[in-house]
Structure 1
Amino acid sequence: MKKSGSQESKSPSQLIDARIEELGDWRGQMLSRVRALVKEADPEVVEEWKWRGVPVWEHAGIICTGETYKTVVKLTFAKGAALEDPSGLFNSSLDGNTRRAIDLFESDAINEPALKNLIRAAIDHNQAKSKKKKAPAAARAKAQK
Structure 2
Amino acid sequence: MTTSGSQDEKSPSELIDARIEELGDWRGAMLSDLRGLVKEADPEVVEEWKWRGVPTWYHDGMLCTGETYKQVVKVTFAKGASLEDPAGIFNSSLDGNTRRAIDFREGEEIDEQAFKDLVRAAVALNASKG
Q: How does 1:61-100 map to 2 (within 5 A)?
A: 61-100=61-100
For 1:51, the aligned partner's letter is W
Consecutive unaligned residues of structure 1, counting only runs of 5 or more, are: 131-145
Map of 2:45 onto structure 1:
45
Deviations 1:44-88 (A, max 9, x none): 000000011000011001110000000000000000000000000
Q: State how far apart, in whole Å, the 2-side matches of 1:115 and 1:65 are.
A: 13
| Structure richer in helix, relative to its length | 1
Q: State how far apart, in whole Å, the 2-side matches of 1:23 and 1:127 are.
A: 34
Tell me which stretches of 4 or more aligned residues in structure 1 moved more than 4 Å.
none
Q: State how far apart, in whole Å, the 1-side matches of 2:32 and 2:6 are.
A: 23
Q: State how far apart, in whole Å, the 1-side matches of 2:20 and 2:6 are.
A: 18
TM-score using structure 2 length: 0.96
Consecutive unaligned residues of structure 2, counting only runs of 5 or more, are: none
For 1:108, the aligned partner's letter is E
CA-based RMSD of the aligned residues comes to: 0.8
Fraction of identical pairs, as percent: 74
Map of 1:119 onto structure 2:
119
- SS of the counterpart of 2:47? strand
TM-score using structure 1 length: 0.86
For 1:9, the aligned partner's letter is E
Larger radius of gyration between Structure 1 and Structure 2: 1
Map of 1:19 onto structure 2:
19
Q: State how far apart, in whole Å, the 2-side matches of 1:79 and 1:98 are.
A: 5
